[in-house]
């Protein structure tokens, strides 16, 4: 079976700095895959390159076996690859309903219709409300997105992403800046996502990662350090070293104020 998403030698460099270096990765349909790594490992760059926000410097990205490396972001989204942003990216001056309806009306191919009022497109409206319902925001459809709390904005993001009917959802640090209670609610929301949906998540909170993911890929200095089931990653010596820094702490001192 062809993997839903496959990266072959994906590379992205900024001048002489190679932020993503020859990354190979395959994600099968329905998989919950987490991407972790210390700060500066290239997670966000990899993420943006896969989504199409950034252009790849080398290698290729295959969605459903088709090469999408040259396609712009909008075209990748149309083919089912939808991302969220590290900082909520919403339509703040629009109503909560409008935010989700924007995703739905594109899927329903009515985004450029202007022959009747939007609320007369019943199917689109109903679908948007259903998605808001599923994330628990049905009481706030008429509020401006700007009036939502941080946690609610994250819920709205999920509703928007699902409303775009993706095959692959990519979450970029979804629980960043959330309170413990909000994180808990959010993880529960992600756990309820439909089985057939493939999820790639970049996450700092390892508790969340080990709870959600069935496979984890560790990125370090732009390269894949390890990839496998959570238990394996947890036990991996190299991963520990990447996360905790090189060997023993006293090395830091011997090098700077060494005997030489």
Partner 1 sequence: MLDGTTPAVEPLRTGTADGADRPGRRRAVVTVAVVALLAATPLFLGPYPVTAMTRMLAFAVLVLGVDLLTGVTGLPSLGQAAYFGVGAYTAVLIGIHLTPDAMVQALGGLVMGLVAAAVTGWVAVRARGIVFLMLTLAIGESVHQLAGTWSTVGGSNGLAGMPPISLFGGPPLTAAGFVYWWVLAVAVLVFAGVALVVRSPYGRTLRGIRDNEARMRALGYRPALARYGVFCLAGAVAGAGGALWAQQARFVSPGDMGFEVAALALLSVVVGGPGSLWGPCLGAALVLLVRDNLSPSIGGHGPLVLGTVFIAVVLLAPRGLAGLTGARILAAARRRKENPS
Closest CA to 200 of 14, 89, 49, 39: 49
Told to check if 126 binds partner 1 by CB under 8 A, we report no
List the one residue from 113, 214, 240, 241 that touches partner 1 (CB under 8 A): 113
Can you give the C-alpha Rg of the chain in angstroms? Answer: 20
Build a one-symbol-per-residue string for 149-188: x at contacts with partner 1 by CB under 8 A, - elsewhere: -----------x---x------------------------
Distance CA 34, CA 36 (A): 6
Say which residues have a Cβ less than 8 Å from residue 185's Cβ, sequence separation at least 6: 151
Phi, psi of 9 (to 5 degrees): 55, 35
| Chain length of the chain | 260
> Environment class of residue 21 by beta-carbon count within 10 Å: exposed (0-12), middle (13-18) or buried (19+)?
buried
Q: Nearer Cβ to partner 1, position 77 or 218? A: 77
Q: Nearer Cβ to partner 1, position 8 or 108? A: 108
Told to check if 130 binds partner 1 by CB under 8 A, we report no
Summarize the chain as % helix, strand, coil (round to 5). 40, 25, 35
List the one residue from 23, 68, 101, 219 that touches partner 1 (CB under 8 A): 101
How many residues sit close enough to partner 1 to count as binding (CB under 8 A)?
46
Told to check if 193 binds partner 1 by CB under 8 A, we report no
- Which segment (4-12, 18-26, 85-93, 209-217) binds partner 1 by CB under 8 A? 85-93
Interface contacts to partner 1, rule CB under 8 A = 51, 53, 72-75, 77-78, 82-83, 85, 89-95, 97-98, 101-103, 105-107, 110-119, 121, 124, 141-144, 146-147, 160, 164
């Amino acid at each position: 079976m062809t993997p839903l998403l496959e990266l072959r030698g994906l590379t992205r460099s900024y001048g002489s700095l190679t932020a993503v270096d020859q990354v190979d990765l395959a994600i099968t349909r329905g998989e919950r895959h987490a991407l972790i790594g210390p700060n500066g490992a290239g997670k966000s760059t990899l993420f943006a390159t896969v989504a199409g926000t950034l252009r790849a410097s080398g290698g290729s990205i295959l969605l459903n076996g088709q090469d999408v490396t040259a396609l712009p972001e909008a075209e990748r989204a149309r083919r089912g690859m939808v991302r969220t942003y590290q900082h909520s990216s919403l339509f703040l001056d629009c109503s909560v309903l409008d935010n989700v309806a924007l995703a739905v009306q594109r899927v329903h191919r009515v985004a450029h219709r202007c022959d009747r009022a939007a609320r007369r497109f019943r199917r689109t409206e109903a679908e948007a409300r259903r998605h808001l319902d599923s994330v628990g925001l049905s009481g706030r459809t008429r509020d401006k997105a700007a009036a939502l709390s941080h946690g609610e904005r994250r819920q709205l993001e999920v509703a928007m992403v699902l409303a775009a009917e993706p095959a692959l959802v990519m979450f970029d640090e979804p629980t960043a800046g959330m309170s413990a209670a909000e994180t808990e609610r959010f993880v529960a929301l992600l756990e309820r996502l439909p089985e057939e949906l493939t999820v790639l998540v970049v996450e700092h909170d390892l508790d969340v990662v080990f709870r959600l993911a069935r496979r984890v890929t560790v990125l370090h200095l732009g390269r894949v350090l390890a990839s496998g089931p959570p238990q394996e990653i947890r036990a991996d010596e190299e991963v520990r070293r990447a996360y905790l820094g090189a060997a023993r702490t006293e090395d830091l001192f011997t090098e700077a104020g060494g005997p030489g």
